[in-house]
Amino acid sequence: MDYLKEDGWELNEYLSVIPGAAEDMIPFRNKSVSCMTKKTHIKNLFKKASLTVVKILFILFVLSLLQVLLLRWIDPFTSSIMLQRQMDSFFAGKESIRYEWYNYEDISGEVALAVIASEDQNFPKHFGFDFEQINKAIRERKEKGRLRGASTITQQVAKNLFLWEGKSYIRKGFEAYYTVLLELLWSKKRIIEVYLNIAETGDNIFGVGIASKIYFAKHPENLTADESALIAAVLPNPVKYSVRNPSDYIRKRQTWILKQMNSLGGGAYTKDL
């Protein structure tokens, strides 16, 4: 309609002078209004969907926050990994899991020192992630072509307590999220206490408390350095390796862990957790 404006005509004048012009323009007007209505509708739907997603994420955040905060004081009666093992055992007709909770003070200090020496020597110092070990693992992957674990004790608690097994970026993302929450809301002492109770120490055996009874017929507070190092030695794969019948490899790991316990300074290293 630019040629009308060039001649000094306005659209309304054009419609009033030419018979039937107004009627001819109705389909174009309706189409324009219809397009605008669709665009507005799509925008409203997008806004509602975005708002719903934000609300869901906020609710999940609050629930996870409460979950971690409550478990700072309430001892967990099970864990996500235990539930998975229980289901697997049920369908496979295997023996049920064995698990007993013991407070940190009721477990020999040698056990905490042994698992820290074995799994996470920088545990008292880092904030859930040991970037030094992560970088070492990446270098080993490039040089030797194998990938070793670099998960901290806090990360293992996050996975065992709240998540599922398996290697995926989604699970790792959730693991990192829960790791931050644990470090923010729990003390180091609480983290290691929960770890000692929910870590798998044998096939369907969870926690060092029940492990000490099964393997050594004693209360966990009476575990020696040798026994603690032996339990810690099988932690990377407690189903494959055995405390009751340790292989030469596990005996070598036990010896290495004992040396690391001494090099860390003994019980003084975990005194201020």
pLDDT at 44: 78
List, in sequence order, every residue forming a beta bridge with 206; answer none if it has no partner: 99, 200
What class is the 75-269 domain? mainly alpha
Given a contact cutoff of 8 angstroms between Cβ atoms, the answer to whether 258 and 101 are in contact is no
Q: Which residue has the higher pLDDT, 36 or 238?
A: 238
Q: Give how far the C-alpha of residue 118 lies from the chain's centroid of Cα atoms, to the nearest Å.
A: 21
pLDDT at 16: 52
pLDDT digits (tens, 9 = 90+) for 53-104: 999 999 999 999 999 999 999 999 999 999 999 999 989 888 899 999 999 9
Q: Give the domain ranges of the chain.
A: 2-63, 75-269
If DSSP states are collapsed to H, E and C, what string results for the chain? Answer: CHHHHHCCCCHHHHHHHCCCHHHHHHHHHHHHHHHHHHHHHHHHHHHHHHHHHHHHHHHHHHHHHHHHHHCCCCCCCCCHHHHHHHHHHHHHCCCCCEECCCCHHHCCHHHHHHHHHHHCCCCCCCCCCCHHHHHHHHHHHHHHCCCCCCCCHHHHHHHHHHCCCCCCHHHHHHHHHHHHHHHHHCCHHHHHHHHHHHCEEECCEECHHHHHHHHHCCCHHHCCHHHHHHHHHCCCCCCCCCCCCCCHHHHHHHHHHHHHHHHCCHHHHCCCC
pLDDT at 7: 46
Rounded CA-CA distance 202/119 in Å is 16
What average pLDDT does range 143-150 have in this prediction?
A: 66
pLDDT at 145: 66
pTM: 0.81
How buried is 267 (Cβ within 10 angstroms: 0-12 exposed, 13-18 middle, 19+ buried)? middle
If you average pLDDT over every residue of the chain, what do you get? 86
Rounded CA-CA distance 247/215 in Å is 15
